[in-house]
Chains A and B, each alone.
Chain A
């Protein structure tokens, strides 16, 4: 009797196979798919690079061309969403895209190149222009100038001015 019940149930249900490659499927609302960096929002801060568990996101500073490259290799991404959580500017987002098959390994990369910011005192590049600009805009007027220095120079400059104040 049980088998007949199963048979009837299956007849009632009909075909369950999806028509996938010929018809699009219904993608779940909260599917974590391909991460995409919005290059206009990204400031090259590197928070996502620190958060990424498999190092799908890497960062490289090229001193000669004065550029910082944030490189996303989708082939290594595990779609954990940590980068999205870490990004302070909401620049990196996980889309619902999942059809990522590629014939070429090069197609799996996204590169964002941003100009490096040089310290006005020691001349060393330490972060991107865009990030310093955003930091300066967010700070109150009297703290802005110190924020334009690299951490080491800021330390020595503030110590220098404090020693003047003591005398």
Chain B
């Protein structure tokens, strides 16, 4: 994917982060990692920006300003959700005073009739400056995505057979009269 061919001007938007991610963003722009050699420039106003470096879990206090800043960025825009907080709420995801990251913010934007912008997720708490640069490279189409979803589902056949073996082991050892069934426990509940 090539979203931006040219230099990417970014606006750094803090929606109530702990400052860890913000420090790493500054590190990415500092001489050692020097994101500016890749055309990344930090701008002071959202109206000048192509992309938003979004940090924090979106606190309720920050919400009005965050929505205004996102709306002020001209289209086409791209949001880089930097850090665990922005990607999924992080350590604060179930707190009463946050919206739980960028998904909560998009829910608010949708209810306002604004289409959520294209997003790139950069997980980490905080992400290494190199990880942020990798996210920017991904947005510019200069790097490929390394992370992929992985799924594993146990094979049913051998598992069912193992279960039957275990049941047989039980019935062999307790062949006598067994007590009536105990009270049923409700299972299938989502556990966090």
Contact = CB atoms under 8 A, between A and B. Distances in A.
Contacts of B121: 75, 101-105, 108
The size bracket of the interface on A is 35 or more
B112 interface: no
Given A61-B187, A129-B163, A17 B130 contact: no
Main secondary structure of the interface of A (DSSP, over half): mixed
A145 to B, nearest CB: 3
A132 B165 CA distance: 11
A76 B154 contact: no
Nearest to B159: A115
B160 A115 contact: yes
Interface string A92-122: 0000011111111111111111110110111
Contact of A101 (B32, B147, B172, B181): B147
Contacts of B91: 53-54, 78
B138 A148 contact: no
Nearest to A34: B147
Contact of B166 (A67, A103, A133): A133
Contacts of B152: 39, 111-113
A93 B120 CA distance: 25
Interface of B: 1, 31-34, 37-38, 84, 87-91, 93-94, 103, 118-125, 127-128, 130-131, 133-135, 137-138, 142-143, 145-154, 156, 159-160, 162-163, 166-167, 169-174, 178-179, 181-185, 187-192
6 contacts: A16-B32, A54-B84, A98-B131, A104-B121, A124-B185, A161-B174
